[in-house]
Amino acid sequence: MESNQNLERDLMFQKAVPELMQINPRKARFPCCIVWCPLPVLSWLVPFIGHIGICREDGVILDFAGPNFVCVDNFAFGSPARYIQIPKEKLHNSCRSLLIEIFAPLKQCCSTLCLDAHDSEIRNEQTDPEGMIMTWDDALRKGTQEFQHRSYNLFTCNCHSFVANNLNRLGYGGGTGGWNVVNLAALIFLNGRWVNKAAMARSFLPFVVVFSLGLIFGGWTFLVGLALFTVVLVGWFVLGTYCFKNLIQL
* 5 part of a folded domain: no
Query: How does strand 69-72 pair with strand 82-85?
Result: unpaired
**Please, which pLDDT band fits residue 250 given cuts at 50, 70 and 90?**
confident
**Residue 75 maps to a domain:** yes
Q: Is residue 2 part of a domain?
A: no
Picking from 40-49, 97-106, 157-166, which range would have the lowest pLDDT averaged per residue?
97-106
pLDDT higher than threshold 80 for residue 112: no
Q: 61-65, 171-175, 198-202, 220-224 — which is least confidently predicted?
A: 171-175
What average pLDDT is seen over the chain?
A: 79
The verdict on residue 177 lying in a domain is yes
Q: Looking at the predicted structure, is the pLDDT value of residue 105 above 80?
A: no
Whether the predicted pLDDT of 238 surpasses 80: yes
**What is the tens place of the pLDDT at every residue in 58-88?**
999 999 999 999 999 999 899 999 999 988 6
Q: Which domain holds residue 174?
A: 18-242
10 part of a folded domain: no
12 located within any domain = no
- Considering the domain boundaries, does residue 199 fall inside one? yes
Residue 111 lies in a domain: yes
Residue 106 reports pLDDT greater than 70: no
Domain count, the chain: 1
185 — pLDDT class (breaks 50, 70, 90): very high
